[in-house]
């Protein structure tokens, strides 16, 4: 009996092997390939940093700062910052109102903001496009195109900001607020000194879920502007389609770096945090 026991007790950690292999082959290896393409010459496969030089240099006699690529980058950052700020400006009050209201069925109220997310993403974006068309502001001018893109990003990513913020606000211990009140703080100063700082993790994870997608979700930007407003995601897509793999990889690598930076700054690698999982909170 005692001899057979170690054999019988298979180790449960061995169950991690299939998924570890899956992650190694389909998540890590593809990223290694991107790094490879970013640092090699397209024709000969030799090591080079030319791709990075190419990325940051102009074309056809123009300097980098006059090039359409620079415009794409600036435009992307602008759209991304605007979308994130607007999302936060709308989501924070919504989350705060729901978390602090006296309505019994708060989950039901919150659900109202999530239900539209269950409609297919492209159908949803198409619906917004039709609405803009109906109002008469679809594809009118470059300025409207930028505005419409931001609107599309906010429309699509709003729940990803509302949910983490709501989660953190609703978890704040009410006795802190009562204590602040007892000690003479007014409503506004209690909010600024207690609620706002304590909801920072939710804001951070919301920002991390809106910022990068707003820069790369080319489906929204292409759709909302009839391909007139280009963002970094669309640029990568074009590189791939036009067989400019090395240039595309450089761009992807820069985005990856940005992603790690944002995630590190917002604490997104902390798998313990309950607010970081984009989407899991939808259920």
Partner 1 sequence: MVKLRSILKWVFIGLVLLFIYAPILLLTVYSFNESETITSWQGFSWAHYEYFFNMENQPLPIVIQTICLALVVASLSTILATVGSIGIFYSKKRTSSLLSGVNQIPVINAEVVTAISLAFLFVAFNLPKSTFIPLIVGQMVLCTPFVVLSIIPKLKQMDNNLYEAALDLGATPTKALFSVVIPQISPGIVSGFMLAITLSLDDYVIAAYTKPNTFQTISTHIYSLAKGSTVDTIKSSYWALTAIIFAIIVIVVIVMNIIANKKAGKKR
- Applying CB under 8 A, does 233 fall inside the site for partner 1? yes
- Please, what is the minimum distance in Å from the beta carbon of residue 228 to partner 1? 12
Q: CB neighbours of 275 closer than 8 A, spacing ≥ 6?
A: 163, 164, 167, 168, 201, 202, 205, 281
Query: What are the φ and ψ backbone dihedral angles of 47, each rounded to 5 degrees?
Result: -65, 135
Interface segment toward partner 1; rule CB under 8 A; list 45-53, 67-75, 192-200, 246-254 = 246-254
CB 209, CB 283: distance < 8 Å: no
Return the bridge partners of 47, or none: 40
Q: C-alpha distances in angstroms, 24 versus 17, 29, 76, 277?
A: 10, 6, 31, 21
Residue of the chain from 6, 18, 61, 184 that contacts partner 1 (CB under 8 A) = 18
Interface segment toward partner 1; rule CB under 8 A; list 51-59, 71-79, 195-203, 242-250 = 242-250
- Please, what is the minimum distance in Å from the beta carbon of residue 28 to partner 1? 6
- Applying CB under 8 A, does 128 fall inside the site for partner 1? yes
- Applying CB under 8 A, does 101 fall inside the site for partner 1? yes
CB 150, CB 83: distance < 8 Å: yes
Positions in 194-213 near partner 1 (CB under 8 A): 208, 212-213
Residue of the chain from 45, 186, 197, 279 that contacts partner 1 (CB under 8 A) = 279
- Applying CB under 8 A, does 27 fall inside the site for partner 1? yes
- Applying CB under 8 A, does 257 fall inside the site for partner 1? no
Other C-beta atoms within 10 Å of 25: how many?
10
Residue of the chain from 4, 112, 183, 188 that contacts partner 1 (CB under 8 A) = 112
Q: Specify the residue, 58 or 170, whose C-beta has the smaller distance to partner 1.
A: 170
- Applying CB under 8 A, does 94 fall inside the site for partner 1? yes
- Applying CB under 8 A, does 189 fall inside the site for partner 1? no
Q: CB neighbours of 271 closer than 8 A, spacing ≥ 6?
A: none
Tell me the C-alpha distance between 154 and 80, whole Å: 10
């Amino acid at each position: 009996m005692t001899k057979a026991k170690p054999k019988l007790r298979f180790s449960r950690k061995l169950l991690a092997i299939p998924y570890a292999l899956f992650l190694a082959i389909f998540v890590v290896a593809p990223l290694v390939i991107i790094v490879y393409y970013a640092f090699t010459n397209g024709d000969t496969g030799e090591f080079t940093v030319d791709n990075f030089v190419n990325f940051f240099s102009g074309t056809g006699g123009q300097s980098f700062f006059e090039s359409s690529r620079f415009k794409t980058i600036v435009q992307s950052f602008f759209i991304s910052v605007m979308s994130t700020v607007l999302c936060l400006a709308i989501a924070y009050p919504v989350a705060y109102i729901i978390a602090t209201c006296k309505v019994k069925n708060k989950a039901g109220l919150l659900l109202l903001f999530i239900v539209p997310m269950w409609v297919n993403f492209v159908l949803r974006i198409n619906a917004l496009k039709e609405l803009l068309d109906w109002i008469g502001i679809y594809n009118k001018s470059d300025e409207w195109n930028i505005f419409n893109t931001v609107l599309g990003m906010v429309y699509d990513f709003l729940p990803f900001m509302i949910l983490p913020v709501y989660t953190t606000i609703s978890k704040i211990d009410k006795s802190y607020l009562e204590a602040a009140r007892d000690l003479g703080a007014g409503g506004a100063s209690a909010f600024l000194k207690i609620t706002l700082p304590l909801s920072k993790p939710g804001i951070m994870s919301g920002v991390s879920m809106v910022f990068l997608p707003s820069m790369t979700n080319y489906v929204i930007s292409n759709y909302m502007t009839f391909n007139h407003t280009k963002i970094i995601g669309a640029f990568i897509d074009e590189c791939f389609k036009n067989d400019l793999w090395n240039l595309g990889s450089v761009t992807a690598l820069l985005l990856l770096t940005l992603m790690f930076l944002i995630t590190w700054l917002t604490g997104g690698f902390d798998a313990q945090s309950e607010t970081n999982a984009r989407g899991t909170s939808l259920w």
